[in-house]
Amino acid sequence: MALKVIGTGLGRTGTMSLKLALEQLGLAPCHHMVEVFMHPESVPLWVEAGRGNPDWDAIFGDYQAMVDHPGCKFWRELMDYYPDAKLIHTVRDPERWFESTQATIFNPGGGALNPPEPMRDFFAMVMAEYEGQQNDHDYMIEHFKRHTEDVLAGVPPERLLVFEASQGWEPLCAFLGVPVPDTPYPRENSTAEFQARVSAGTMADPAAVKAEMDKARAH
């Protein structure tokens, strides 16, 4: 199955909420970093993609959409590989984004910077674009802004929606050509929720991650 939506936004820009929103709109399943944790067998495929040998059909299988890392790293390749897909670029205030990353995915004590052995090559691939500067304020703010500039310059306007979670359903549904649900737009994976999962040690447990996702979808 070909991807219908490609998310280009970096992690901590509302990507989990967007994943759940897209799935609610019928684009299920939607790939996100949590899918890698639930399906560790996909890790070697992602490592090979990072080496320039992607097998997108094997990686995405039955997925209809993709957001967040590691997929957003390959937005250019995926845009070309799936020429009919629409692209959604999630954004937020750069300062708030940086603060969120430092408290979660790029926390010095977090799993991305100190992964277990089976995940080291994978996270090395994911983190390569930050050049070891993921905790440097000025570097990261510039990286965040440049990433958006690159997407705006590289994606045809008719294929792109620049989206902020606070905008809710309306612009997303208009872009996708689907009705607006009568339920609130999802709000998931806040900093506090992320930190709670880290403290509980469930981030790398496939069964625990699946249970968390099932709970989030039921909200």
Angstrom distances, CA of residue 88 to CA of 8, 34, 146, 184, 200:
6, 19, 16, 20, 32
Q: Per the CATH hierarchy, to which homologous superfamily does domain 5-218 belong?
A: P-loop containing nucleotide triphosphate hydrolases (3.40.50.300)
Q: H-helix or E-strand containing 86?
A: strand 86-90
**Which long-range contacts link 136-144 to residues 24+ away (Cβ below 8 Å)?**
137/98, 140/98, 140/101, 141/94, 141/95, 141/98, 144/10, 144/94, 144/97, 144/98
Per-residue model confidence as pLDDT tens for the chain (219 residues): 799 999 999 999 999 999 999 999 999 999 999 999 999 999 999 999 999 999 999 999 999 999 999 999 999 999 999 999 999 999 999 999 999 999 999 998 766 777 888 899 999 999 999 999 999 999 999 999 999 999 999 999 999 999 999 999 999 999 999 999 999 999 975 555 554 454 444 555 555 555 565 555 556
Say how far apart CA 112 and CA 126 lie, in whole Å: 9
Say how far apart CA 29 and CA 20 lie, in whole Å: 9
